[in-house]
Structure formats: structure tokens, C-alpha cells
Amino acid sequence: MTTNGTGIFYDGRTSDRQEVTVEVGDDAVRVSALSGPVLAQWRFAEIAPVAIPAGGLRIGLAHATAAARLEIHNPTLAAALIGRLKPTDRTGLTDRRTRIKVVAFSLVAIATLVASAIWGVPLLSDRIVPHLPVALERRLGAAVDMEVRRALDTSTDGKSFECGIGDAQSAVAARAAFTKLIAHLEEVAGLSLPLRAVVVRRIDANAITLPGGHIYVFDGLLTRADSVDELAVVLGHEIGHVAHRDGTKAVLETAGLSLLFGMLLGDFTGGGAVIVAARTVLRTAYSRAAEAAADEFGANLMYKVGSDPHALGAILLRISGNPGATTSFHFLLDHPQAQERADAIARIARPSPMRALLTPAEWDALKNICAGG
């Protein structure tokens, strides 16, 4: 017997949400776009219920590499799906997950106390972050993101802080071009967590990375970029910070144990630790070693996608030549001089078969993503 309904689907590779049709069959659930194509078909034995919000259900695959998920807000459809799952799977929604969380958090808390006594907070973050569950880092990133938006969104002209979110044809085209570029870089980078990249209305030539895969591209950077390769290589650099989890290391080092224990207890808001973490993202520059590693990651990523790794050196040199740029450009602040970094990139860059990441029309649309209201 088949039960039909609708839901919201996230493919795990982009931040796009899609309204879909859901068919709950005898042994699998099928997810299809409203236009018809099948997006996913999951057997009940492979499904891991992630949570049960009020009146709905959120599910994903237990052993998937991409964090795809389906949200069902129709109680009847949710009940039909739960009824098809194995009893052990339904138990996992509550008791099993709670037991695992309590045991895991207890073990991490004990290890944290021991490690903090031996190494101290800065060294502690280097040792803990590589083993931090992705889901926990994403929760931290979401909490920090709220504070960062409050700090950055200072406009009083009534325009939205995030660019390209309207329904106008120009906004749709710009958003599609940006999504295409991010999706291509993300696919090749092979990250352990999905990116959430947006363009925002800020005049600084800047791009910043938050914990959990959040990337902010400032409109000022788009304005100063002469080509899609220059934007792509800066994004590649920021994706390097995501891959190396530099943002999470930085906020743990600065916010300290209060934030760390808040993470372990599931409380990301107490004690003002998240506010401290957000200020860290906005004001603290990464170390030279972290920047060099991100530069190398970005250059190698450009080689893989067929873009120009030298474009990073070009935009660094151009912006560093602007007397007022280095004080506001997080990408340069307190790091090796632009010429030194450009030379290092030239040494590691490899020739690659060049191909256009965007068409000229797509690049033009993306350059003007913040031009609308």
C-alpha cells in the first residue's frame, strides 16, 4: 500500500530547500521533485530518523556521505512512515539516541577535563576539533551565525542583508550562478559537512568562514574581483578553512572552556560565550600557518576544477595596493604580506586544463547580485 504526501527535501550538497512529493511504499520511501524527477529512494532498513519536531518527522540515511534529509510536517504521512520503520529504528528516535548522547557527552567531558589540565585551552582545541562530531560543529556554527548576522547587518536602508533572495529575474539569475559555483567547488572539495555560503551587503573586500561550513562573501569582494576565477579562488581559500575546521579552533581558543562545556551540555547560548565566539570570527585573524594551509588548499582546488590558482595572488596584490584595504580585509589582516603569499602560491600552483566555471552572462549576473532592492 502506498501513502502519498508532500515534504521538504535537502540534498546535502547545497543549502537549497525543495518542496517535494513523498510516496511511502511497502519497503521504501520515494522523494520526487514537483516537476517529476525522482530525487531519492530510501529503503526503510537504511533510514535513520534524526528527530521528531512537533507534528512532523525528519529522516536521513544512516550511512550516507552527504547529509541529505527529508522533513515531513503532515502528521498522517509522518505516522505512515514511522509505521513502516523497524521497531529498533523507532526506538532509536528516543531512548537509544538519548543513551548514546549521554554516554558520548560524558566521555568527551571527562576527556576534556583531563586534556585541559595537561595542555591548556589553545592546545586542547587543536586536539579536540578534529574529533568533534560534525553535527555538533554545525550546531555551534548556527549559533555563531545568528550573532555574526546581528553584528554585520547594520544597514538602515530597508534592503535585505542577504543578496539575491528576491523573485526578480535578475535575483534569480544571480542566485543560480552563485549556487552553481558553490556546488561545483563543494563537490570537488569533498567536505565532511555541507556548505552554507551567502553573499551579503558589506562594502569590505572580505570573505569570512564560521564554524559548521558557513561562508559569508561580502559584496565588496565581488566588486573588486575581476574574474570568476578570482572569486572562485578566494572561495577555495575559505573552503580550506572549512576543511581544516579553523573557525571552530579559533572560537574554542578564544571563548575557552565556557563555550566548550556549553557545547557538551547542548547549551550554545549561556554565559555570553557565543557572543565572544562571534567576535572572534569577526576580529581575529588566523595564524600564518593556517592561512598558508588554506592558500594551498585553494590552489589545489582550483587545479582540480580547471581554474587559475594564480588568481589568488592577483586579487591579493590588487587589494593590498589599496591603502585602506588591509585594515578591513580579514583575508589579509595580520597575515603574510600579499607578495609573499602570491610567491608561495606561484610555487605550488600547477598548470591545469582551463575551463570556464561560469558563462559570461552568469558572471555578470553574479557580480550584480546585490544591485537589487
Q: Which residues contact 252 (CB under 8 A, 6 or more apart)?
A: 121, 124, 125, 128, 129, 259, 260
**Quick one: which of 112, 142, 124, 120 has its CA closest to 268?**
142
pLDDT of amino acid 52: 57
pLDDT of amino acid 163: 92
Query: Cα–Cα–Cα angle for 42, 45, 50, nearest 5°?
Result: 75
Confirm whether 217 is domain-assigned.
yes
Residue 336 sits in the same domain as residue 207: yes
Strand 47-51 vs strand 38-43: parallel, antiparallel, or unpaired?
unpaired
pLDDT of amino acid 334: 38
Confirm whether 100 is domain-assigned.
no
Confirm whether 182 is domain-assigned.
yes
Residue 133 sits in the same domain as residue 80: no
**Quick one: which of 19, 32, 31, 87 has its CA closest to 59?**
31
Q: How far apart are CA 8 and CA 249, in angstroms?
A: 33
Angle between helices 169-189 and 228-244 (to 10 degrees): 50
Residue 130's identity, in one-letter code, is: P
Confirm whether 110 is domain-assigned.
no
Residue 29 sits in the same domain as residue 158: no
Residue 45 sits in the same domain as residue 171: no
Mapping DSSP to helix (H, G, I), strand (E, B) and coil, where does residue 309 land? coil
Angle between helices 121-128 and 257-265 (to 10 degrees): 40
CA distances from 154 to 3, 60, 199 (A): 48, 37, 15
Confirm whether 310 is domain-assigned.
yes
Residue 225 sits in the same domain as residue 139: yes
Q: How far apart are CA 35 and CA 192, in angstroms?
A: 30
Confirm whether 104 is domain-assigned.
no
Residue 17 sits in the same domain as residue 80: yes
Query: Cα–Cα–Cα angle for 62, 65, 69, nearest 5°?
Result: 60
Residue 46 sits in the same domain as residue 143: no
Does pTM top 0.85 for this prediction? Answer: no
**Pick from 52, 69, 85: which residue ends a domain?**
85
**Pick from 56, 85, 114: which residue ends a domain?**
85
CATH number at residue 66: 2.30.29.30
Q: How far apart are CA 86 and CA 93, in angstroms?
A: 11
How many structural domains are present in the chain?
2
Decide if 303 contacts 350 (C-beta within 8 A): yes
Residue 81 sits in the same domain as residue 143: no
Residue 143 sits in the same domain as residue 272: yes
Residue 246 sits in the same domain as residue 136: yes
Residue 351 sits in the same domain as residue 300: yes
List the chain pLDDT tens, one digit each, 373 residues.
668 899 999 887 777 788 999 998 888 899 999 988 999 898 888 887 765 555 578 888 877 666 788 888 888 888 888 877 765 444 444 444 555 555 566 566 556 544 554 445 555 566 677 767 778 788 888 888 888 888 888 877 778 899 998 888 999 999 999 999 999 999 999 888 889 999 999 998 889 998 889 999 999 999 999 999 999 999 999 999 999 988 888 777 766 555 655 555 555 544 455 665 666 666 656 778 888 899 889 988 988 888 888 888 888 888 876 544 433 334 444 345 777 787 887 787 776 667 789 999 999 999 999 986 5
Residue 208 sits in the same domain as residue 344: yes
Domain that holds residue 76: 3-85
